[in-house]
Amino acid sequence: MDTLTLARRYRYLWTGEAVSATIFIILLITGAVREGHWVNWIDRAYSVGIVAWILVQAVVFWRWKLRLLAQEHRALPPEVVLRFRWFKHLNWVLIVAFPLVVLVGWLLAGRRLSQADVGLGTLILLGAILEQINYYYYQLMYDSRYDWRYLMLYKRLRIGSIAKMLTQRISGAG
């Protein structure tokens, strides 16, 4: 892809992820306020928080890529790569902690579970897992001819965008 097309793509990607994270949070808050029983929204709020957190990481990544493109550099600064390596692990810790959040919600709700909250929280958490895989392991979203050509030609999933960056050799990082 030429530089102008790539810049447009990076802008499309970071704004799309930012809008998605914002919409998820607005929908969560609107639903919780409308219902009025915050304790019935703990699991959903936690899961939406994880999805939004991973989407914000994607926003930061695509904005860095756009900045590097403008500066005609290819590699992210070592401290940024290290931060994303840390995010990759932190995301899994947050995902795996979901049962603890359900337990806390159960205790706060007087030992009764909101099945809707647990069920929807679990579904939303699956979305967080898919976002984690999409960025940190294998690309799951194929929304351009370039991506589809790769998939058809090589008959396998591409390495995720952040995953590629994480293989970057670190030198001079403190």
In terms of Cα–Cα distance, which of 159, 46, 45, 140 is closest to 93?
46
Higher-confidence residue of 174 and 58: namely 58
Residue type at position 66: L
Q: How far is CA 172 from CA 68, 69, 113, in A?
A: 18, 22, 50
What number of CA atoms fall less than 13 Å from residue 137's CA on the CB side?
9
**171 in a domain, yes or no?**
no
**173 in a domain, yes or no?**
no
Q: Could you give the number of structural domains in the chain? A: 1
| Window from 54-58, 84-88, 145-149 with minimum mean pLDDT | 145-149
Q: How far is CA 64 from CA 53, 61, 67, 123, in A?
A: 17, 5, 5, 30
Domain that includes residue 60, residue range = 3-166
- Please say if the pLDDT value at position 53 is more than 90: yes
Q: What is the pLDDT of residues 78-116, one digit of tens each?
A: 999 999 999 999 999 999 999 999 998 888 877 778 889
**172 in a domain, yes or no?**
no
Higher-confidence residue of 171 and 71: namely 71
Q: What is the DSSP string of 131-166?
A: HHHHHHTB-----SHHHHHHHHHHSSPPBPHHHHHH
Please report the pLDDT score of residue 171 as a whole number. 61
Q: What is the pLDDT of residues 5-44, one digit of tens each?
A: 999 999 999 999 999 999 999 999 999 999 887 778 899 9
**174 in a domain, yes or no?**
no
